[in-house]
């Protein structure tokens, strides 16, 4: 359940500003080729070598800062006879949903693509890296030739995001090429790509300039050196372009060449020294202090800089710096700028050394300004850097639901875990209660329970950031948790429905939970009336997931009164709601697939029933005790679908999952009885061969990873199990799918719909 | 090696029922004429596998069959308990992690098989 993408969900275009909530900053400049300074040296030697290598699908450029990775990528991609999609990665891309949105926007700028396929949400428990790679690869194959450049990939530290890029490299259509620029190891399975001859690798040695290139670079700065001095400089800098550049700047200013005391190839510290002695010392003091102190900011505007530095005319200074190419404009209005990336790192190091105590102060001021000026997420980032836990907690409580509704689940997760690590959820009940509800919906029961316990400590008068009492959220949280059985679900969900702000999409979720508890307690009429209401309201406020569940529940009511025609109609509408809202990978969508399977089987459409059952089976690992009553109900519906298909082994596998949840939530009275009855029915059936439906949740969790290029040992690391366990489960998967190898298993799983569609 | 040999060996290593049935001329999961039900037959088979110190794949196949036939986790674990005095502790303890994994419980102590 939970909120869908919102009323904007119908927007099918790829306007990045509308991708997420309209007030999320979408950094358009990340999709543009970074600006060049002066006349860049053409890396003809290197480009010729890359050309000789032929049509190798992947180009990996890895070197420390200042080696001209971006310049090379720009020149290389300009030579390709195809449109270029460019993404300069930023910190915010460490959420797979955000990375995907930027990649989609980058591709859309190069070539028209089908936006709809990008929008499906990626809940935890789904093979997120595979989904991202699949979607980007599919878009690439629909566009015709495209060159996709991912620059600054060292910023990606989220494992899922790194795996996604690595996976994409294996899935490129023949018409596409991928280039990755990174300071550290690029997020690619280099050895496996190498074995296939699918990657060209460029490192610092390749990027180092020879005397000819060095001469061109210096000439660009108006500096000409005699051959011997030039050779000496190149030897000393080992051809490191940024050092050559700085040397040229120093020469221009002082009329002589000052090579640094020691060779400083790629060493940040030595380069920082050089920056300090050769560059900052020649910039007017006010300017250099401004640049150093504003290095804490991702984006610079006059008012923001004034607020952070306590100055008054930062706007004009920014314009001047932009004219001197010392900062990069982000718009045409002269409102927003940013530092050059390489430069900013050095400036930050400088700040840390010169004024270490000032950094948190500057961040705190930035947080205050961003919060007051409608940039809550930037404010969260600065408040975190300032260590201002209270502000982070308050801002996260006000922002979490928006990010969740956007599908930026990685961001939600990161915020809450930051608070959790600092013990802040114990003292901030609004954040704790929202965290508990969202973690329950994200199928993370252990975390949800722990945070729920913290939220329970809230003083009665606590209010949420919107001013409403916390009681409504506590009630919703308890309703979803259902520790006290169905009667308690009904009581709490009913309370939540009344206490949550009217018109809130969460009222619809509460109504569905309440209605479901009626249905499970053999009160189908009362349930149906409330469900019909939830469907009507849900459509108004645009909550697809809860509406889809409500429709599926109504189909179950219809089946119970033996009205299969009505059931089929309702199941069809539920399925349409799932697809319309791009939420087909959520665990509770399994309820929809289960009722579709049941109605199809009843009509005798075995093919359709099997396909829907497979869809539901795929989502089984997400059916945990986090929202126990819904999980068990869904599992029992899946078991009934198996029975309708005379699949006793499948039914037993599903009932085993239900037992696991019931063991943790024993008070779900009628559901336990129903499970026992179903088990008795299964006992009367002959068990046939074990097929896909008898896969265990552990095996189902493994299947998407089998479709990657990760080794068993690497898969084990991602699932936190041993290599032996992975291998054993893989063998079990092969047997149940009737295949004898990993690649056949992936093909078969794809056919059956176990990898999603 | 011939391609079909490779495929056959791979399937045998997986304890693939089709391949083994073809090889043995009888269904691997056959029940006897005396009316031993599928669940009991699977548990008896499991006992034999433990006594033989079988491969991981065989345990997975057998336990999955037992569960599908309606055996409970408790019954599967019971097989190990009642076998111990007959076949000895070493065989039971080497089977334990494999059987645990087959009922969905990863003990995190793999007996890394040779040539894995």
Output the pLDDT for position A581. Answer: 72
Round to whole Å and give the CA distance between B34 and B44: 14
Round to whole Å and give the CA distance between B50 and B94: 9
Flag if B64 and A732 touch (Cβ within 8 Å): yes
Shared domain for B14 and B69, answered yes or no, is no
Instruction: Give A60 or B108, the one with higher predicted confidence.
Output: A60
Output the pLDDT for position A124. Answer: 67
Shared domain for B46 and B19, answered yes or no, is no
Output the pLDDT for position B21. Answer: 79
Round to whole Å and give the CA distance between A491 and A497: 10
Quick check: A534 contacting B, CB < 8 Å?
A: no
Instruction: Give A600 or A466, the one with higher predicted confidence.
Output: A600
> Within 10 A of A712 (CB to CB), how many other CB atoms are there?
20
Which of the given ranges, A107-121, A216-230, A397-411, A426-440, has the highest pLDDT on average?
A426-440
Flag if B10 and A740 touch (Cβ within 8 Å): yes
Flag if A736 and B64 touch (Cβ within 8 Å): yes
* Tokens of residue A18, six digits: 């509308």
Shared domain for B54 and B25, answered yes or no, is no
Output the pLDDT for position A7. Answer: 31
The beta-carbon neighbor of A648 closest among B11, B57, B68 is: B68
Flag if A690 and B65 touch (Cβ within 8 Å): yes
Percent of chain A with pLDDT over 90: 44
Shared domain for B60 and B114, answered yes or no, is yes
pLDDT category at A13 given cuts 50, 70, 90 is: very low
Output the pLDDT for position B32. Answer: 66
Round to whole Å and give the CA distance between A502 and A495: 12
A505 burial type by CB count under 10 A (0-12 exposed, 13-18 middle, 19+ buried): buried
pLDDT category at A305 given cuts 50, 70, 90 is: very high
Output the pLDDT for position A672. Answer: 92
Shared domain for B6 and B59, answered yes or no, is no
Minimum distance, in Å, between the CA of residue B54 and any CA atom of chain A: 13
- Phi/psi for A206 (5° steps) reads -70, -35
Contacts of A649 in chain B (CB under 8 A): 68
Mean pLDDT of A229-247: 81
Mutation choice for A interface testing from B14, B105, B107 by most A CBs within 10 A: B14
Contacts of A727 in chain B (CB under 8 A): 56, 116
Round to whole Å and give the CA distance between A485 and A10: 37
Mean pLDDT of B54-66: 91
For residues A142 and A114, the answer to whether their CB atoms sit within 8 Å is yes
**DSSP assignment of A367-421, as one string?**
HHHHHHTT-HHHHHHHHHHHT-HHHHHHHHHHHHHHHHHHT-HHHHHHHHHHHHH
Q: Is residue A339 classed as helix, strand or coil in its secondary structure?
A: strand
Contacts of B21 in chain A (CB under 8 A): none
What residues of chain B, 58 to 97, have a C-beta less than 8 Å from chain A? 60-61, 64-65, 67-70
Instruction: Give A341 or A441, the one with higher predicted confidence.
Output: A441
Distances from the Cα of A261 to the Cαs of A21, A224, A253, in angstroms?
A: 52, 21, 19
pLDDT at A2 over 60: no
CATH no. for residue B65? Answer: 1.20.1290
Contacts of B55 in chain A (CB under 8 A): none
For residues A521 and A544, the answer to whether their CB atoms sit within 8 Å is no
Output the pLDDT for position A491. Answer: 94
Number of domains in chain B: 2
**Composition of chain A by helix, strand, coil, percent to 5:** 65, 5, 30
pTM over 0.90: no
Closest CA to A511 of A530, A526, A532: A530
Quick check: A488 contacting B, CB < 8 Å?
A: no
For residues A326 and A391, the answer to whether their CB atoms sit within 8 Å is no
Distances from the Cα of A344 to the Cαs of A156, A296, A347, A385, B15, in angstroms?
A: 18, 8, 5, 16, 60
pLDDT at A266 over 60: no
Round to whole Å and give the CA distance between B92 and B105: 16
Output the pLDDT for position A730. Answer: 93
pLDDT at A116 over 90: no
Lowest mean pLDDT among A189-203, A317-331, A544-558, A722-736: A317-331
Shared domain for B41 and B24, answered yes or no, is no
Domain that holds residue B73: 32-116
Please tell me which residue of chain A has the smallest CA distance to B104: A698
Q: Please determine, for the modelled complex, whether the ipTM score is greater than 0.95.
A: no
Output the pLDDT for position A272. Answer: 66
Query: How confident is the prediction for chain B on average, in pLDDT?
Result: 83
Please tell me which residue of chain A has the smallest CA distance to B28: A689
pLDDT at A3 over 50: no
Flag if B67 and A653 touch (Cβ within 8 Å): yes
Query: How confident is the prediction for chain A on average, in pLDDT?
Result: 86
pLDDT at A10 over 50: no
Closest CA to A393 of A434, A421, A425: A425
Helix (H) or strand (E) holding A459: none
The beta-carbon neighbor of B104 closest among A652, A694, A698 is: A698
The beta-carbon neighbor of A727 closest among B38, B108, B116 is: B116
Output the pLDDT for position A54. Answer: 77
Round to whole Å and give the CA distance between A329 and A321: 10
SS (H, E, C) A536-559: HHHHHHCCHHHHHHHHHHHHHHHH
* Tokens of residue A292, six digits: 């150093």
Mean pLDDT of A548-573: 94
Flag if A689 and B17 touch (Cβ within 8 Å): yes
Instruction: Give A537 or A585, the one with higher predicted confidence.
Output: A537
Flag if A687 and B38 touch (Cβ within 8 Å): yes
Round to whole Å and give the CA distance between A527 and A535: 12
Quick check: B7 contacting A, CB < 8 Å?
A: yes
Shared domain for B3 and B43, answered yes or no, is no
Contacts of B72 in chain A (CB under 8 A): none
Mean pLDDT of A484-496: 92
pLDDT digits (tens, 9 = 90+) for A370-389: 999 989 999 999 999 999 99
Please provide the size of chain B in residues.
116
Shared domain for B12 and B64, answered yes or no, is no
Distances from the Cα of B28 to the Cαs of A578, B41, B45, B102, in angstroms?
A: 43, 11, 10, 19
Contacts of B17 in chain A (CB under 8 A): 689, 735
User: DSSP class of residue A201?
Assistant: E
Flag if B56 and A731 touch (Cβ within 8 Å): yes
Quick check: B55 contacting A, CB < 8 Å?
A: no
- Phi/psi for A485 (5° steps) reads 85, -175
Instruction: Give me the total of CB pairs closer than 8 Å, taking one residue from chain A and one from chain B.
Output: 82
Instruction: Give A101 or A283, the one with higher predicted confidence.
Output: A101
Please tell me which residue of chain B has the smallest CA distance to A651: B68
Mutation choice for B interface testing from A678, A724, A734 by most B CBs within 10 A: A724
Instruction: Give A684 or A62, the one with higher predicted confidence.
Output: A62
Shared domain for B38 and B95, answered yes or no, is yes
Shared domain for B59 and B16, answered yes or no, is no
pLDDT at A433 over 90: yes
Output the pLDDT for position A254. Answer: 62
- A336-339/A300-301 β-pairing: antiparallel
Give residue for tokens 């300032």.
A386
Contacts of A732 in chain B (CB under 8 A): 57, 60-61, 64, 102
Mutation choice for B interface testing from A620, A682, A697, A735 by most B CBs within 10 A: A735
pLDDT at A475 over 90: yes
| End-to-end Cα distance, chain B | 20
What residues of chain B, 18 to 47, have a C-beta less than 8 Å from chain A? 18, 38
Shared domain for B41 and B65, answered yes or no, is yes
pLDDT at A41 over 60: yes
**Composition of chain B by helix, strand, coil, percent to 5:** 65, 0, 35
pLDDT at B24 over 80: no
Contacts of A687 in chain B (CB under 8 A): 38, 65, 68-70
Quick check: A729 contacting B, CB < 8 Å?
A: yes
Shared domain for B69 and B21, answered yes or no, is no
Contacts of B62 in chain A (CB under 8 A): none
Round to whole Å and give the CA distance between A244 and A214: 7
């Amino acid at each position: 359940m939970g909120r869908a993408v919102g009323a904007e969900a119908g927007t099918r275009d790829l306007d990045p500003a509308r991708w997420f909530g309209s007030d999320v900053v979408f950094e358009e400049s990340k999709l543009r080729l970074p600006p060049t300074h002066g006349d860049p040296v053409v890396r003809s030697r290197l480009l010729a070598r890359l050309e000789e290598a032929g049509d190798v699908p992947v180009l990996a450029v890895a070197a420390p800062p200042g080696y001209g990775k971006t310049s090379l990528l720009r020149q290389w991609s300009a030579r390709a006879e195809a449109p270029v999609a460019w993404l300069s990665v930023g910190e915010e891309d460490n959420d797979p949903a955000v990375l995907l949105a930027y990649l989609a926007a980058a591709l859309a700028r190069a070539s028209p693509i089908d936006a709809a396929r990008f929008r499906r949400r990626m809940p935890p428990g789904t093979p997120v890296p595979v989904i991202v790679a699949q979607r980007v690869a599919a878009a690439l194959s629909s566009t015709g030739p495209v060159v996709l450049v991912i620059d600054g990939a060292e910023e990606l530290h989220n494992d899922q995001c790194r795996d996604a890029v690595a996976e994409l490299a294996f899935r490129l259509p023949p018409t596409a090429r991928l280039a990755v620029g990174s300071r550290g190891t690029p997020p690619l399975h280099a050895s496996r790509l190498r074995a296939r001859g699918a990657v060209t690798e460029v490192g610092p040695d390749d990027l180092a300039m020879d005397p000819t290139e060095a001469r061109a670079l210096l000439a660009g700065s108006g500096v000409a050196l005699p051959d011997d001095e030039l050779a000496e400089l190149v030897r000393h800098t080992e051809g490191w372009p940024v050092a050559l550049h700085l040397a040229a700047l120093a020469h221009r200013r002082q009329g002589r060449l000052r090579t640094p005391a020691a060779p400083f190839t790629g060493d940040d510290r030595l380069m920082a020294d050089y920056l300090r002695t050769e560059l900052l010392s020649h910039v007017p003091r006010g300017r250099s202090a401004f640049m150093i102190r504003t290095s804490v900011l991702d984006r610079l505007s006059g008012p923001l800089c004034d607020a952070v530095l306590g100055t008054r005319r930062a706007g004009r200074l920014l314009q001047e710096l932009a004219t001197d190419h010392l900062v990069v404009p982000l718009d045409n209005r002269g409102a927003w700028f940013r530092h050059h990336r390489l430069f900013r790192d050095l400036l930050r190091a400088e700040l840390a050394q010169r004024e270490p105590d000032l950094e948190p102060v500057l961040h705190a001021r930035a947080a205050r300004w961003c919060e007051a000026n409608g940039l809550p997420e930037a404010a969260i980032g600065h408040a975190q850097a300032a260590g201002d836990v209270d502000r982070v907690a308050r801002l996260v409580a006000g922002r979490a639901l928006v990010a969740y509704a956007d599908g930026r689940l990685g961001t939600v997760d990161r915020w809450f875990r930051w608070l959790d690590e600092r013990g802040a959820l114990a003292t901030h009940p609004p954040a704790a209660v929202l965290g508990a509800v969202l973690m329950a919906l994200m199928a993370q029961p252990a975390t949800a329970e722990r945070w729920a316990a913290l939220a329970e400590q809230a003083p009665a008068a606590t209010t949420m950031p919107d001013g409403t009492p916390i009681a409504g959220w506590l009630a919703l949280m308890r309703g979803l948790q259902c520790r006290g059985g169905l009667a308690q679900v009904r009581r709490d969900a009913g309370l939540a429905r009344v206490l949550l702000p009217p018109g809130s999409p969460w009222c619809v979720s509460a109504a569905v939970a309440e209605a479901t508890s009626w249905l499970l307690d053999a009160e189908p009429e009362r349930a149906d009336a409330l469900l019909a209401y939830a469907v009507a309201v849900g459509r108004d406020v645009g909550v697809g997931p809860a509406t889809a569940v409500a429709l599926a529940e109504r189909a179950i009511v219809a089946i119970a009164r033996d009205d299969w025609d009505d059931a089929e109609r309702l199941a069809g509408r539920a399925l349409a709601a799932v697809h319309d809202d791009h939420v087909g990978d959520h665990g509770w969508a399994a309820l929809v697939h289960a009722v579709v399977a049941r109605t199809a089987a009843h009509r005798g459409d075995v093919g359709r029933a099997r396909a829907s059952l497979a869809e539901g089976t795929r989502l089984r690992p997400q059916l945990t005790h986090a929202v126990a009553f819904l999980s068990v109900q869904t599992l029992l519906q899946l078991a009934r679908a198996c029975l309708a298909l005379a699949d006793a082994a499948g039914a037993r596998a599903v009932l085993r999952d239900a037992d696991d949840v019931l063991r943790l939530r024993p008070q779900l009275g009628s559901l336990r009885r129903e499970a026992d009855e179903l088990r008795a029915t299964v006992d009367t059936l002959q068990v046939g061969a074990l097929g896909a439906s008898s896969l265990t949740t552990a095996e189902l969790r493994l299947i998407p990873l089998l479709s990657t290029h990760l080794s068993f040992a690497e898969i084990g690391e991602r699932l936190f199990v041993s290599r032996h366990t992975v291998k054993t489960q893989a063998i079990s998967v092969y047997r149940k799918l009737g295949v004898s190898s990993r690649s056949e298993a992936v093909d078969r799983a794809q056919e059956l719909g176990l990898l999603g569609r | 090696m011939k391609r079909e040999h490779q495929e056959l060996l791979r399937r045998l290593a997986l304890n693939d029922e089709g391949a083994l049935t073809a090889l043995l001329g009888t269904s691997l999961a056959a029940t006897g004429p005396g009316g031993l039900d599928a669940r009991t037959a699977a548990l008896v088979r499991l006992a034999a596998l433990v006594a033989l110190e079988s491969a991981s794949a065989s345990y997975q196949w057998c336990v999955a069959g037992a569960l599908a036939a309606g055996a409970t986790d408790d019954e599967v674990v019971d097989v190990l308990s009642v076998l111990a005095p007959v076949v000895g502790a070493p065989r039971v303890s080497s089977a334990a992690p494999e059987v645990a994994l087959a009922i969905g419980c990863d003990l995190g102590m793999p007996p890394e098989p040779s040539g894995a």
